[in-house]
Structure 1
Amino acid sequence: MAVVVLQHTPGADPPVIGAAVEAVGLDLRAYRAWAGHLPDDLTGVDGLVVTGGPKAICSEDDATRHAELGLLRGALAAEVPVLGIREGAQLLAEAAGGAARSEPDAQFDWGPLELTPAAGSDPLFGGTPAQPRVPHQHGDSVELPREAVVLASDDRHPVQAFRIGGSAWGLQFPLEADAAALNEEARSSLAALEPWRDLVLGRFAALVAARAEHTATRAFFTRRAGAWEDRFAYQTPAYAAAVARMELGCGQTALDLGCGTGRAMPALRAQVGDEGKVFGVDVTHAMLTAAARIGRSDCGQLLLADCTRLPFPSASVHGIFAAGLLDHLPHPRTALREWARVSAADGTLLLFHPAGRAERAARHGRPLSPDDPLAEPNLRPELDATGWHLTVYDDAEQHFLARATLAR
């Protein structure tokens, strides 16, 4: 797992941010944005920090600026955690549809930060001191998009800290101030700020670590969601054939976990009938948006949720369909246990992929691994340990299918 830092000032890796990242077991990768050095995309990026610099980034009209805005827009869409500091906050506001203004020669001094009521429940600011003294660059200002939440202001600026969605924060003040470059009075102010600063940065790093399990998934599928259905529509009959083997009854409840664009949902609806319930669950908002756009919401409800922590009561589900999901989860046994929790007595679990294990391994240029969680010697004991009984194991060339029932 890694946090990427886009630096706008020459020098070593940011020590303050680096310490917070290292404390939660993450790696830090610094890119020299000031020299045009940026990551190609968000692959392998669990968190993104965009720092400040000596000049107004928001007024620059060059390739680097446009590339940074593209990375930030991608991070916002995929819910990759972002922390923008000073000019980084301005870029974040612009990427989200707002605007920013910076005066290079504006006054710089220290002053109290007024936290708004919304800061009280914020993941980074909640429970922190109400009026920390921070350094201000008084010529900097941002205009936020409508959905943004203001977290802090001061006597000159209505926006000094803000949040966009649930994973991106912008700070108009430089938390990464270098004590060596400050006078004695400013160093004293910085020393007083350090506990608050370390708490906020530590919370951001902890949030990145906690969400990393799903960040890579969201980043991968968000970029591909728009073309996903067109690319794989030919597999729909195979999905329907797999669902038929679940043998669900009218009026029952079925889940399509990791549903993507919901290719199994029409077949699930046909099995449970108009009186039944169908839910498509996915962790990627863009995939669910694509599913709704092609009419899958007519077949059931689409839910944005973690497939290992389902928002359903115990023993409330009769059938679970999971295509290409279990072997991509970091803790398959945790998932199987949760799926057993929500399943009614004699509930059915169908694990599916429209290609066999050998075919998929060959496609990726690798041999079959004995550690593959879908290999029968590995899958069967995992199912047994979580309350499932494997009744069908069919690893054919054209598909993989494992059917299990809940043993209450």
Structure 2
Amino acid sequence: MNPTPTADVLVVEHAPQEGPYVIGTALEAAGLPVRTCRTWAGDPVPDSLGDAAALVVMGGPASACEVPGRTAELALLRAALEAEVPVLGVCLGAQFLAEAAGGRARPGSGPQIGWGDVRVAPAAHTDPLFADVPGRLRVLHWHGDTMDLPTGATLLASCDRYPVQAFRIGGSAWGLQFHLEVDKAAVDAFAAAFPDEAATAPDLVASAPGHLAALAPHRDAFFEHFAALVTARAARSATRTFFTPRAATWEERFAADGPRYAAAVARMGLRPGRRTLDVGCGSGRALPALRAEVGAEGLVLGVELTPAMLTATAKEGRADLAGLLMADACRLPLAAGAVDGIFSAGLINHMSDPAAALREWARVTALGGVLLLFHPSGRAERAARHGRPLDPDDPLAEENLRPALNAAGWSLDCYEVASRHFLARAVRVR
């Protein structure tokens, strides 16, 4: 899946010489635009991820305990962790990442500067980024701090002096205490910016060509894997960065829509004992009506891509009404013909591949099953709210929706565009 046009990678820099270097090269090669926050030049740390498909936090001359504005950086990293957006923290950025996840950055026993080996941990062999890294790697160290990892973190690389050299938080965030991103320009910039520190490693610059030549294949593969992971998850990341900060107040903002959801569910014609699915269930607003339609003996499932929305569903007391699944709407973890009906509100027109979604929903629906697409606002009302005309390419326009449904195995039997709602009902025919 290609990244959406607005998706970018947010890079936070703390010093002019500590840029992304090879990280930036890999992102550019993957077609991922970079948005840079240069705190060293006075840029404020953003208070949200925006449309970021990933977050990269670089190193700097201070420790995580000393950086001004660290509260803003920790908040940004916590938001990325909650949304499960890919994160890469380097040196100081790794310390911030550990703290954001519940660990602790702290002063070490003294500077570790220059070229030195790290040992790759057994867990690295199955890691998405470290899988091709050899068991021992000579890298550039430039720090005097260390960290205590949070519970559940996976250690990926270590050395005798400072055991925490690389780690993973969950399945999407990586921290590197050493500088894997360096090239010749980076080494020269480090030495020029910190001549006193560089003097403690006399062979730093002279030995760089040989070390970089040995490092380059593994370094480049590592960051190519990161760029590929960001690209593959770009659409998912965009969804999560949008909905995660809104999840806690979503129900409050749209509570008045409840009766319209119930009325729409009633149009599905479900009977007691049937199996139904709400794709993109959000905070679970349709789940009470779906449960009422199929009764206690029926099956109700809610599928949502944003973890924070499933948390909101539980907060609203709706988790007992349905089985909740965190999944991509285009790759449902269900067998063919598993349900008799699908309800989906406000989702299909925001998907990067609506046709693929309709095919997948047909796959999991039994013959004769029903699909109901709904929105509590009409198409014209939504367009006016956003200050734009109706889009002729809108997948919900009847001239677009009907052939897309037919191609996926559905037959459209009801299409309504009212001033205060949109509703389309289709039956699985093949």
For Structure 1 versus Structure 2, the TM-score category normalised by the shorter chain is over 0.9
Deviating more after overlay: 225-234 vs 328-337: 225-234
Q: How far apart in 2 are the matches of 1:194 and 1:10?
A: 23
In the other structure, the counterpart of 2:3 is none
Q: Give per-residue Cα distances to partners, 1:339-383, cap 9 Å, x unaligned.
A: 011110111000000011011111111111111110100100100
In the other structure, the counterpart of 2:402 is 380
Label 1:209 to 1:134 Cα distance change in 2 as closer, same or farther (>3 A): same
Q: Does the alignment pair 1:365 with 2:387?
A: yes
In the other structure, the counterpart of 1:203 is 225
Q: Give per-residue Cα distances to partners, 1:149-206, cap 9 Å, x unaligned.
A: 1111112222111111111100000123342424221331122111111111111111
8 A Cα contact 1:281 1:307, kept in partner? yes
Q: How far apart in 2 are the matches of 1:2 and 1:290?
A: 27
Q: How far apart in 1 are the matches of 2:328 and 2:182?
A: 38
Query: What are structure 1's unaligned runs of at least 5 residues?
Result: none
Matches within 5 A, 1:182-261: 182-261=204-283
Label 1:65 to 1:35 Cα distance change in 2 as closer, same or farther (>3 A): farther
In the other structure, the counterpart of 2:295 is 273
Q: Does the alignment pair 1:16 with 2:60?
A: no
Q: Give per-residue Cα distances to partners, 1:90-113, cap 9 Å, x unaligned.
A: 011111111112469613132222
Q: Give per-residue Cα distances to partners, 1:23-59, cap 9 Å, x unaligned.
A: 1111112221223313342112111111112222x12
Q: How far apart in 1 are the matches of 2:86 and 2:112?
A: 31
Matches within 5 A, 1:244-393: 244-393=266-415
8 A Cα contact 2:22 2:182, kept in partner? no
TM-score when scaled to structure 2?
Answer: 0.91
Count of aligned pairs between the two proteins:
406
Q: Does the alignment pair 1:109 with 2:131?
A: no
Q: Does the alignment pair 1:35 with 2:41?
A: yes
Q: How far apart in 1 are the matches of 2:66 and 2:161?
A: 25
Q: How far apart in 2 are the matches of 1:214 and 1:41?
A: 17
Identity of aligned residues (%): 60
Q: How far apart in 1 are the matches of 2:241 and 2:42?
A: 23
Matches within 5 A, 1:18-167: 18-37=24-43, 38-56=45-63, 58-60=64-66, 62=68, 64-102=69-107, 106-137=111-142, 139-167=144-172
Query: What are structure 2's unaligned runs of at least 5 residues?
Result: 1-6, 189-203
What is the deviation of 1:137? 3.7
Q: How far apart in 2 are the matches of 1:13 and 1:154?
A: 25
In the other structure, the counterpart of 1:177 is 182
What is the deviation of 1:138? 5.9
Deviating more after overlay: 181-190 vs 165-174: 181-190
TM-score when scaled to structure 1?
Answer: 0.96
- Aligned to 1:231, the other structure's residue is in SS state helix
Q: How far apart in 1 are the matches of 2:221 and 2:277?
A: 40
Q: How far apart in 1 are the matches of 2:32 and 2:246?
A: 27
Q: How far apart in 2 are the matches of 1:127 and 1:15?
A: 20
- Give RMSD over aligned pairs: 1.6
8 A Cα contact 1:55 1:104, kept in partner? no
In the other structure, the counterpart of 2:200 is none
Q: Give per-residue Cα distances to partners, 1:219-251, cap 9 Å, x unaligned.
A: 111101111111111111110100001011222
8 A Cα contact 2:21 2:182, kept in partner? no
Deviating more after overlay: 319-328 vs 141-150: 141-150
Q: What one-letter code is carried by the residue in structure 2 that aligns with 1:311?
A: P
Q: How far apart in 1 are the matches of 2:15 and 2:109?
A: 14
Deviating more after overlay: 30-39 vs 144-153: 30-39
Deviating more after overlay: 293-302 vs 238-247: 293-302
Label 1:104 to 1:30 Cα distance change in 2 as closer, same or farther (>3 A): farther
